[in-house]
Structure 1
Amino acid sequence: MDDDLRERIETAAEKHALLNAVKHESDADVGAIMGPLMGENPDFRQHGGEIPGLIGPVVAEVNGLSNAEKRNRLEDLAPEELAEMEAEEEADDSLLPDLPNVEAYDEVRMRAAPNPNGPWHLGHARMPAVIGTYKEMYDGSFIVRFDDTDPETKRPDLTAYEAILDDIDYLGFEPDDVIRASDRVETYYDHARDLIEMGGAYTCSCSGEDFSNLKNNGKPCPHRDKDAETTLDEFEAMVAGEYSSGEMVLRVKTDIEHKNPALRDWVAFRMIDTPHPREEAESYRAWPMLDFQSGIDDHLTGVTHIIRGIDLQDSAKRQQFVYDYFGWDYPEVVHWGHVQVDAYDVKMSTSSIKELIDAGELDDWDDPRAPTIKSLRRRGIRGQAIVDAMVGLGTSTSNVDLSMSTIYANNRDLVDDETDRYFLVRDGESFAVEGGPDTAHPPLHPSFEDRGARDIPVGDAVRLESGDVPAEGDRVWLKGFGCVRRESDTLVHTGDDLDVVREGDVDVIHWVPTEGVQVRMRTMDGDVTGVAEPDFGDVSEDELIQFERVGFVRVDDRDDDETVVYFAHK
Structure 2
Amino acid sequence: MDEDLRTRVQTEAEKHALFNAVKYESDADVGAVMGPLMGENPEFRPHGGEIPGVVGGVVADVNAMDHGERRERLGELAPDLLDELDSEDEEDEQVLSDLPNVDNYDEVRMRAAPNPNGPWHIGHARMPAVIGTYKEMYDGSFIVRFDDTDPETKRPDLDAYDAILDDIDYLGFEPDDVLRASDRLDIYYDHARELIENGGAYTCSCTGEAFSELKNSGEPCPHRDKDPETTMTEFEALVDGEYSSGEMVLRVKTDIEHKNPALRDFVAFRVIDTPHPREEAEKYRLWPMLDFQSGIDDHLTGVTHIIRGIDLQDSAKRQQFVYDYFDWEYPEVVHWGHVQIDEYGVKMSTSTIKQLIAEGELDGWDDPRAPTIKSLRRRGIRGEAIVESMVGLGTSTSNVDLAMSTVYANNRELIDDDAPRYFLVRDGVELPLSGGPDAGHPPIHPDHEERGNRTIPAGDAVLVEPSDVPQSGERVWLKGYGCVRYEDDALEYVGDDIDVVRNEGVDVIHWAPAEENVSVTMRTTEGDVAGRAEPDFGDATVDDAVQFERVGFVRVDSQDDDEAVTYFSHD
Give the alignment of 1:10-29 within 5 angstroms: 10-11=11-12, 15=16
CA contact (8 A) 1:144 1:175 kept: yes
In the TM superposition, what are the counterparts of 1:456-475 in structure 2 within 5 Å?
Answer: 456-475=456-475
Quote the Cα distance in structure 1 between the aligned partners of 2:132 and 2:284: 33
Contact 1:121/1:372, CA 8 A, preserved across alignment: yes
Which residue in 2 is equivalent to 1:529? Answer: 530
1:165-191 CA deviation, whole Å, 9 max, x = no partner? Answer: 000000000000000000000000000
Contact 1:422 1:546 in 2 (8 A): yes
1:424 aligned partner: 424
> Which residue in the other structure is 1:273 paired with?
273
CA distance in 1, matches of 2:64, 2:403: 30
Summarize the Cα distance change of 1:524–1:92 in structure 2 as closer, same or farther, 3 Å threshold.
farther
Does structure 1 residue 128 correspond to structure 2 residue 150? no
Q: Which amino acid aligns with 1:232?
A: M
Aligned twin of 1:68: none
The correspondence of residues 199-210 of structure 1 with structure 2, limited to 5 A, is: 199-210=199-210
Task: Specify the SS of the correspondent of 1:325.
Answer: helix
Structure 2-normalised TM-score?
0.87
Q: For residue 451 of structure 1, report the CA deviation from its aligned partner.
A: 1.5
In 1, the alpha carbon distance for the partners of 2:374 and 2:414 equals 19
| SS across alignment from 1:114 | coil
Question: Structure 1's 468 and 86: CA in aligned 2 closer, same or farther, altered over 3 A?
Answer: farther
Unmatched runs of 5 consecutive residues or more in structure 2: 21-60
TM-superposition CA deviations, 1:134-170 (whole Å, max 9, x none): 0000000000000000000000000000000000000
Matches for 1:295-306 after TM superposition, within 5 Å: 295-306=295-306
2:445 and 2:366 map into 1 onto residues whose CA distance is 29
Asked if the contact 2:481–2:496 (Cα under 8 Å) also holds between the matched residues in 1, the reply is: no
Give the 3-state SS of the residue equivalent to 2:508 in structure 1: strand
Consecutive unaligned residues in structure 1, runs of 5 or more? 20-37, 64-73, 75-80
Alignment of 1:494-533 (within 5 A): 494-515=494-515, 516-533=517-534
Contact 2:14 2:62 in 1 (8 A): no
Maintained 8 Å contact 1:478/1:508: yes
TM-score (structure 1 length as normaliser): 0.87
Displacement of 1:40 in angstroms is 6.8
Aligned match of 2:560? 559
User: After superposition, what is the alpha-carbon deviation per residue over 1:293-316, rounded to whole angstroms, capped at 9, x for unaligned?
Assistant: 000000000000000000000000
Matches within 5 A, 1:156-555: 156-515=156-515, 516-555=517-556
Provide the rounded CA distance (Å) in 2 between the counterparts of 1:545 and 1:125: 25
Query: Percent of counterpart pairs with the same letter?
Result: 73
Distance 1:439 1:449 in 2: 19
| Superposition map of 1:30-41 within 5 A | none
User: Contact 1:432 / 1:491 at 8 angstroms: preserved in 2?
Assistant: yes
Give the conservation status (yes or no) of the 8 Å contact 1:214–1:220.
yes
Contact 1:170 1:383 in 2 (8 A): yes
CA distance in 2, matches of 1:92, 1:504: 45
Q: 1:334 to 1:206 in 2, by over 3 A?
A: same
Paired with 2:207 and 2:438, the residues of 1 have a C-alpha distance of 85
1:86–1:527 distance in 2 versus 1, CA, 3 Å: farther
**Do the aligned residues in 2 keep the contact of 1:147 with 1:290 (CA within 8 Å)?**
yes
Deviation at 1:353, TM superposition (A): 0.3
Paired residue type of 2:418: E
Query: Taking structure 1 as reference, are residues 313 and 4 closer, same or farther at Cα in structure 2, changes over 3 Å only?
Result: closer
Contact 1:431 1:491 (C-alpha < 8 Å) held by counterparts: yes
Deviates most, 440-449 or 336-345: 440-449
Structure 1 residue 7 displacement after superposition: 5.7
Would the alpha carbon gap of residues 16 and 553 (structure 1) be closer, same or farther in structure 2, given more than 3 Å must change?
Answer: closer
What is the distance in 2 between the residues matched to 1:165 and 1:16? 40
C-alpha deviation, 1:434, in angstroms: 0.7
Deviation at 1:90, TM superposition (A): 12
Please name the residue that 1:71 is paired with: none
Q: Contact 1:202–1:250 at 8 Å: present in 2 too?
A: yes
* One-letter code aligned to 2:98: D
The one-letter code of the counterpart of 2:461 is A
Separation in 1, partners of 2:86, 2:270: 49
Q: Residue type matched to 2:364 in 1?
A: D
Q: 1:151 and 2:151 equivalent?
A: yes
Letter in 1 for 2:554: V
The AA in structure 2 aligned to 1:536 is F
Report the CA distance between 1:361 and its aligned residue: 0.3
After superposition, where does 1:98-137 map in structure 2 within 5 Å?
98-137=98-137
Counterpart contact for 2:18–2:62, Cα < 8 Å: no
- Whether the 8 Å CA contact 1:115–1:146 is kept in 2: the answer is yes
Q: CA deviation at 1:487?
A: 1.6
Contact 1:87 1:409 in 2 (8 A): no
Amino acid aligned to 2:281? A
Contact 1:91–1:388 (8 Å) recurs in 2: no
Q: Distance in 1 between matches of 2:91 and 2:400?
A: 16
Q: Deviations over 1:474-493 (max 9, x none)?
A: 11110111010112122111
CA root-mean-square deviation? 3.1
Offset, 1:454:
1.3
Q: Spell out the pairing of 1:57-76 with structure 2 (5 A cutoff).
A: none
Give the deviation of 1:123 after TM superposition.
Answer: 0.2
Q: 1:421 to 1:299 in 2, by over 3 A?
A: same
String of CA shifts for 1:349-395, please: whole Å, max 9, x gaps: 00000000000100000000000000000000000000000000000
Query: How far off is 1:520 after superposition?
Result: 0.6
1:517-550 CA-to-partner distances (Å, cap 9, x unmatched) read 1111000000000000111111111111000000
Equivalence for 1:27: none
Which residue number in structure 2 is paired with residue 29 of structure 1? none
Q: CA deviation at 1:39?
A: 7.5
Q: Contact 2:17–2:62 at 8 Å: present in 1 too? A: no
Distance 1:421 1:316 in 2: 53
SS of residue paired to 1:216: helix
Does the CA contact (< 8 Å) of 1:94 and 1:391 recur in 2? no
- Following superposition, the deviation at residue 505 of structure 1 comes to 2.4
Rounded to whole Å, the distance in 2 between the matches of 1:270 and 1:5 is 71
**For each residue in 1:203-244, what CA deviation from the matched residue of structure 2 results, as whole angstroms up to 9, or x when unmatched?**
000000000000000000000001101000000000001100
Number of residues paired by the alignment? 528
Query: 2:217 is aligned with what amino acid?
Result: N
Partner Cα distance (2:15, 2:180) in 1: 58
Cα distance in 1 for partners of 2:18, 2:550 equals 25
CA distance in 1, matches of 2:440, 2:62: 28
1:557, distance to aligned residue in structure 2 (A) = 1.6
Q: Show CA shifts across 1:67-122 (max 9, x none).
A: xxxxxxx9xxxxxx99x979969986761000000000000000000000000000
- The residue number in structure 2 matching 1:33 is none
What SS class does the counterpart of residue 395 from structure 1 fall into?
coil
Q: Secondary structure at the match of 1:503?
A: helix
Aligned CA distance change for structure 1 residues 219 and 481 (closer, same or farther; 3 Å):
same
The answer on whether the counterparts of 1:554 and 1:565 sit within 8 Å (CA) in structure 2 is: yes
Within 1, Cα distance between the matches of 2:247 and 2:86?
56
